[in-house]
């Protein structure tokens, strides 16, 4: 009996010892776990602190860099404000009055700038050849209008480049114009030092006198035309006059030799173009492709545009008139426009123009060094238009008073079914 009781007590004691040991072990495990977590927290805090310090250092470095860039950028933008005028032009908020020039400035803008960029280089090469090889003094007469406006920018930039490389032939070249926004653009981009507003132009330039025509932002009238004729009469015997003209629309002369014929309306507008034609030995008609009627008479063009009355009291409904170009003068008139790729709305029109004007692959040497009568018309490959078919049409024909599909199918060879 006594033995049994001691055995029970011994078992109980062993159990108590085991239980105490288990509790001690659990306490040790919990303590180790807490120590481990504490270290993890400490490490995490240290890592976070180090990361925060790294972020702070990188932020300070970035801010210092941004400050330097910002100061330099502000300094450059202050020196040359061309960026501001370009932005205002694209936003159509230039500080000028309401005019057709302002309204049409954004029409076919990418194509107009593309033509200006390419043609300016060809034209300058042509002038260099005439001055250096033919010993001519060259006068470039530039018409008014938004189509020719980007040319002032490119001619200004190119002339500065020739001035900096000391190509003295540029001193024998003069730009003459009645285009008020154009002359302003030339003064922006054609200075010998673009960072110095007091510097002169790198190319000689004359602004014609005359009566301001606000709707076209141009000078016109008898005084303008007479000044142009006087300039021609007083020029040296070796002088050659090159005319750059455009039109609200262009059609092709039907009789041979075929050439582009500009259409215009408004007081003094057509008469100034006619004077350019009269005094110039070479005439380049510059236009976006979507303005060219390939196979239509003046009467058909006016009918297509809805201008059927010859004495409309509304100037916006006035019929277009065209330049008078005889057979002899037609030999010296050349088209400058674009050619479109296959699969685009105006591709067929491009092909028609190539056939009518006998245009083969363009040769820069032939353009620059040939007599104008042997010089090819110029259709510059253009693929900067929107990819969407209908957006292309809207870009090429921004006029709001036409039935786009019927108009383009009938007069501009655009397929009614794009497929």
Domains of the chain, residue spans: 108-411
pLDDT of residue 400: 72
Q: What is the CATH number of domain 108-411?
A: 3.40.50.1360
**Residue with the larger pLDDT of the pair 200 and 102:** 200
% pLDDT > 90, the chain: 60
- Locus of tokens 């006016």: 302
Strand partners of residue 381: 339
Token pair for 355: 């056939």
pLDDT of residue 78: 47
pLDDT of residue 93: 41
pLDDT of residue 360: 82
Q: pLDDT for 308-346, tens place per residue?
A: 777 766 767 789 999 999 999 999 999 999 999 999 999
pLDDT of residue 92: 45
**Dist CA 150 CA 188 (whole Å):** 12
**129 in helix, strand or coil?**
helix
Q: pLDDT for 170-207, tens place per residue?
A: 999 999 999 999 999 999 999 999 888 889 999 999 99
pLDDT of residue 120: 97
**Dist CA 298 CA 287 (whole Å):** 17
pLDDT at residue 152 above 80? yes
pLDDT at residue 419 above 60? no
Token pair for 349: 């029109």
Q: Are strands 204-207 and 333-339 parallel, antiparallel or unpaired?
A: unpaired
Average pLDDT over residues 372-393: 91
Average pLDDT over residues 110-134: 96
**379 in helix, strand or coil?**
strand
Q: pLDDT for 268-292, tens place per residue?
A: 889 999 999 999 999 999 999 999 9
Phi and psi at 306, nearest 5°, equal 85, 20
Residues with Cβ within 8 Å of residue 322, at least 6 apart in sequence = 251, 261, 262, 263, 264, 270, 298
The answer to whether residues 152 and 85 touch, using CB atoms and an 8 Å cutoff, is no
**Dist CA 146 CA 103 (whole Å):** 10
Q: Are strands 137-142 and 173-177 parallel, antiparallel or unpaired?
A: parallel
The answer for 208, left when phi > 0, alpha when psi is -120 to 50, beta otherwise, is: beta
**Dist CA 81 CA 101 (whole Å):** 22
Angle between helix axes 180-189 and 149-164 (nearest 10 degrees) is 30
What is the average pLDDT score of the chain? 84
Average pLDDT over residues 378-397: 91
**Dist CA 202 CA 351 (whole Å):** 40
pLDDT of residue 356: 95
The answer to whether residues 242 and 140 touch, using CB atoms and an 8 Å cutoff, is yes
Phi and psi at 10, nearest 5°, equal -65, -40
pLDDT at residue 82 above 90? no
Residue 10's pLDDT band, with cuts at 50, 70 and 90, is: low
Residue 399's pLDDT band, with cuts at 50, 70 and 90, is: confident
pLDDT at residue 57 above 80? no
Phi and psi at 267, nearest 5°, equal -60, 125
């Amino acid at each position: 009996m006594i033995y049994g009781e001691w055995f029970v007590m011994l078992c109980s004691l062993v159990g108590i010892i085991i239980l105490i040991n288990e509790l001690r072990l659990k306490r040790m495990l919990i303590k180790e776990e807490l120590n481990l977590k504490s270290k993890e927290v400490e490490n995490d805090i240290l890592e976070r602190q180090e990361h925060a310090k790294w972020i702070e250092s990188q932020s300070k470095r970035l801010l210092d860099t941004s400050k330097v860039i910002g100061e330099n950028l502000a300094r450059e933008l202050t020196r040359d404000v061309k960026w501001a005028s370009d932005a205002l032009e694209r936003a159509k908020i230039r500080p000028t009055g309401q005019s057709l020039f302002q309204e049409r400035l954004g029409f076919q803008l990418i194509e107009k700038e593309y033509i200006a960029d390419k043609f300016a280089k060809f034209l300058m090469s042509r002038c260099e050849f005439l001055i250096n090889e033919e010993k001519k003094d060259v006068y470039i007469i530039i018409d008014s209008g938004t189509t020719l406006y980007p040319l002032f920018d490119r001619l200004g930039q190119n002339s500065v480049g020739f001035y900096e490389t000391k190509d003295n032939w540029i001193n024998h070249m003069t730009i003459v114009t009645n285009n008020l926004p154009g002359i302003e653009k030339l003064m922006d981009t054609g200075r010998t030092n673009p960072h110095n507003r007091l510097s002169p132009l790198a190319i000689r330039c004359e602004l014609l006198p005359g009566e301001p025509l606000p709707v076209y932002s141009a000078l016109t009238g008898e005084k303008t035309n007479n000044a142009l004729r006087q300039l021609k009469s007083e020029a040296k015997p070796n002088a050659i006059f090159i005319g750059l003209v455009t039109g609200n629309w262009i059609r092709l002369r039907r009789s041979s030799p075929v050439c582009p014929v500009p259409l215009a309306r408004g007081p003094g507008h057509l008469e100034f173009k006619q004077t350019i034609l009269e005094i110039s030995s070479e005439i380049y008609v510059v236009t976006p492709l979507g303005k060219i009627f390939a196979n239509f008479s003046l009467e058909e063009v006016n009918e297509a545009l809805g201008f059927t009355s010859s004495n409309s009291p509304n100037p916006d409904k006035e019929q277009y008139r065209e330049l008078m170009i005889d057979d002899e003068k037609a030999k010296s008139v050349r088209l400058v426009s674009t050619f479109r790729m296959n699969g685009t709305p105006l591709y067929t029109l491009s092909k028609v123009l190539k056939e009518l004007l006998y245009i083969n692959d363009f040769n820069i040497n032939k353009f620059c060094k040939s007599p104008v009568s042997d010089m090819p018309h110029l259709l510059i490959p253009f693929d900067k238009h929107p990819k969407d078919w209908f957006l292309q049409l809207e870009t090429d024909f921004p006029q709001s008073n036409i039935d786009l599909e019927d108009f383009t199918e009938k007069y501009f060879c655009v397929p009614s079914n794009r497929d």
